[in-house]
Amino acid sequence: MPKRVGHWIGGAQADEPSVRRAEIFNPATGEVSGHVDLASAQEVDAAVATAAAAFPAWRDASLVKRAQVLFRFRELMYAHRDELAALISSEHGKVHSDALGEVARGLEVVEFACGIPHLLKGGFSENVSTNVDSFSIRQPLGVVAGITPFNFPAMVPMWMYPVAIACGNTFVLKPSERDPSASLLMARLWKEAGLPDGVFNVVQGDKEAVDRLLEHPDVRAVSFVGSTPIARYVYETGTRNGKRVQALGGAKNHMLVLPDADLDLVADAAVNAGFGSAGERCMAISVVLAVDPVGDELVDKVVQRVGELTIGPGDDPESQMGPLVTRVHRDKVASYLDTAVAEGAKLVVDGRETQVKGGTTAAGTPGFWLGPTVIDQVRPGSVVHRDEIFGPVLSIVRVSSYEEGLKIINDVEYGNGTAIFTNDGGAARRFQNEVEVGMVGINVPIPVPMAFYSFGGWKASLFGDTHVHGTEGVHFYTRGKVVTSRWLDPSHGGVNLGFPTNK
Ligand code: NAD
């Protein structure tokens, strides 16, 4: 029986299937493995109403109680990490070890949120005026929503809901319809951890569900992660409807290689960061800027390493890279190979010809396959350089100086991640200061901040004011209140219509 992935509302999966549904694929074979329900506006309304009804009691649950539930959830997620990784791999296509890695990085946010009693401590000032005290508190918003992309079906939701729920909000998750099953396992584990029904809900769906969340008057805040056009749309629509919105968008991450860098380490890093998860990571390196004269030698080293990679199904322990998520996405990514040649770049490794384990070439094997592709002599500003390709395609751009490389990075529309590779501390320090990108690596190709910092890019990679998780996440999911208090005694009496001044 093909599986049916439905909504999770009020602590249980909804029995009644939605009127509309979409296919779920196994990317390694191209076969349909099940269907996901696509919520109507009424189904979204039901989830929001359930979350709104659960809010008053959860908001009043003590900090210690909330932390205890989070600790139990952390243990359950850890115990089920293999099951979760296998689900992710079966719908997304990434290899099992990579799926386990995303679960581990998501769990770090749960661990961060376990410290919520400390994170929500406010400030207190005694005697701001004689016998008057002042203190600040942060309170939850109410029902908040998370709308997430296909590429991290566990980790990206986990950037959001542990912090939101720890802060006392109730949550409605709208996962990607392309790999929706992880959301239901996480929902089941929340219930097992003792989270009251209705605090965490899932609506499966597409634009119809997103649009209803963006206009629903009881949704107070929306966290979004996905492509830039949709991030901009979500930010503009959500804020127009009076909601707090943080919307993280797409990326085009450059790695600047100075001539003094160790080229073997650079080649390792470029291959790991370019082709891990088939390049379907918002922090993947998609462009290497090689400062003269290292270009030729670096390309040789990258090509040699690419030739040794094993491409195969995600559930094969020998596979290092799996297929892409859908046929449509695979074909779109592959179309850039022809564009590159038409633009005068040099296709040094053609991923359509890559051997797939258990199959033939990537182009000839059933499933959504494209092997690691290396394109040299890419011109800055060309389509292949500018567009977010979001696949296993690594472009090499030759530059003559640090300054030329920096300008190329700063001229790009996106500003999610970047890295410099050098042994020159002064150059690295200059780069961290001058580059217009939100997350910077120094000899670290994928500089994803730990859970206790906040994740987010600049420019078209983020719309809104706060990054996700860390203290900015706590800030996003709460609003501040300042109380000024005086315990009256008879000496405070007397009428005075003047403007109060401190005494
Ligand atoms: P996407 O924008 O297609 O989808 C993201 C979410 O928006 C999904 O839940 C989807 O159902 C919904 N959606 C899609 N079209 C919509 C529409 N027209 N109206 C309303 N909602 C819509 O993104 P994706 O393909 O799932 O994910 C890949 C993208 O996400 C890449 O661009 C990648 O860079 C980006 N991403 C960014 C980050 C980051 O931190 N900046 C992290 C992960 C992924």
Note whether 361 and 467 are same-domain residues. Answer: no
Please name the residue whose Cα sits nearest to atom 17 of ligand 1: 207
Q: Is residue 203 part of a domain?
A: yes
Q: Is the CB of 251 under 6 A from ligand 1?
A: yes
- pLDDT recorded at residue 367: 98
Q: Compute, in angstroms, the gap from residue 226 CA to the centroid of ligand 1.
A: 3
Give the relative orientation of helices 228-240 and 207-215 as an angle to the nearest 10 degrees: 30
Same domain, 291 and 187: no
Decide if 447 is inside a domain. no
Instruction: From the CA of 178, give the closest atom in ligand 1.
Output: 26
User: Is the CB–ligand 1 distance for residue 206 below 6 Å?
Assistant: yes
Mean pLDDT of the chain: 97
Residue 455 covered by a domain: no
Place of tokens 């990317």: 27
Give the residue whose CA is nearest to atom 19 of ligand 1. 207
Residue whose tokens read 């709460």: 478
Mutational pocket test of ligand 1: of 44, 148, 150, the residue with most ligand atoms within 8 Å of the beta carbon: 150
Residue 412 lies in a domain: yes
Q: Are 359 and 366 in contact (CB under 8 A)?
A: yes
Q: Are residue 332 and residue 187 in the same domain, yes or no?
A: no
- 289 and 368 share a domain? yes
Rounded CA separation 478/272 (Å):
37
In angstroms, the CA 66 to CA 195 distance is 8
Q: Are residues 138 and 29 in the same domain?
A: yes
Nearest CA residue ID for atom 30, ligand 1: 226
Residue corresponding to tokens 């200059």? 430
Beta carbon of 26 within 6 Å of any ligand 1 atom: no
Strand partners, 441: 419
Distance 102 CA to ligand 1 centre (A): 17
Cis peptide preceding 196, ω within 30 of 0 = no
User: Is residue 54 lining ligand 1, measured as CB closer than 6 Å?
Assistant: no
Q: Tell how far the Cα of 207 is from the centroid of ligand 1, in angstroms.
A: 11
**Pocket of ligand 1, candidates 109, 151, 156, 213: which has the most ligand atoms within 8 Å of its Cβ, to mutate?**
151
Going from the Cα of 229 to the center of ligand 1, the distance in angstroms, rounded, reads 9
Ligand 1 in contact with 372 (CB < 6 A)? no
Q: Which atom of ligand 1 is nearest to the CA of 456?
A: 40
Distance CA 233, CA 442 (A): 33
Residues 135 and 260 in one domain: no
Of the candidates 453, 457, 454, 473, the one whose C-alpha atom is nearest the C-alpha of residue 141 is 473
State the pairing for strand pair 458-459/170-174: unpaired
Q: Do 272 and 307 reside in the same domain of the chain? A: yes
Please report, for the domain that includes residue 346, its CATH number. Answer: 3.40.309.10
Identify the active-site residue in 164, 195, 282, 306: 282
**Pair 407, 422 in one domain:** yes
Tell me whether residue 419 is exposed, middle or buried, using C-beta atoms within 10 angstroms of its C-beta: 0 to 12, 13 to 18, 19 or more: buried
- Is 448 within a domain? no
371 Cβ inside 6 Å of ligand 1: no
Same domain? 50 vs 185: yes
Residue nearest to atom 35 of ligand 1 (CA): 226
Q: Is 238 in the pocket of ligand 1 (CB under 6 A)?
A: no
Q: Please give the pLDDT value at position 500.
A: 82
Q: Are residues 188 and 298 in the same domain?
A: no
Per-residue pLDDT of the chain (503 residues; tens, 9 = 90+): 789 999 999 999 999 999 999 999 999 999 999 999 999 999 999 999 999 999 999 999 999 999 999 999 999 999 999 999 999 999 999 999 999 999 999 999 999 999 999 999 999 999 999 999 999 999 999 999 999 999 999 999 999 999 999 999 999 999 999 999 999 999 999 999 999 999 999 999 999 999 999 999 999 999 999 999 999 999 999 999 999 999 999 999 999 999 999 999 999 999 999 999 999 999 999 999 999 999 999 999 999 999 999 999 999 999 999 999 999 999 999 999 999 999 999 999 999 999 999 999 999 999 999 999 999 999 999 999 999 999 999 999 999 999 999 999 999 999 999 999 999 999 999 999 999 999 999 999 999 999 999 999 999 999 999 999 999 999 999 999 999 999 988 887 889 898 887 77
- Quote the domain boundaries for residue 279: 253-442
Inter-helix orientation angle 81-92/181-192, to 10°: 160
CATH number, domain with residue 21: 3.40.605.10
Residues 6+ apart with CB under 8 A from 58: 66, 165, 168, 169, 170, 196, 199
State the closest ligand 1 atom to the C-alpha of 226, by its place in the atom list counted from 1.
30
Residue 502 lies in a domain: no
Q: Does residue 167 have an active-site annotation?
A: no
Pocket test for ligand 1, best of 88, 105, 176 (most atoms within 8 A of CB): 176
User: Does a structural domain hold residue 302?
Assistant: yes
> 275 and 171 in one domain?
no
* pLDDT given at position 392: 98
Domain-located, residue 497: no
> 376 and 390 share a domain?
yes
Give me the number of domains the chain comprises: 2
270: left (phi over 0), alpha (psi -120 to 50) or beta: alpha
- pLDDT on residue 493: 84
Q: Tell me 356's DSSP state.
A: B
Ligand 1 centroid vs 391 CA: distance in angstroms? Answer: 14
Helix (H), strand (E) at residue 307: helix 295-307
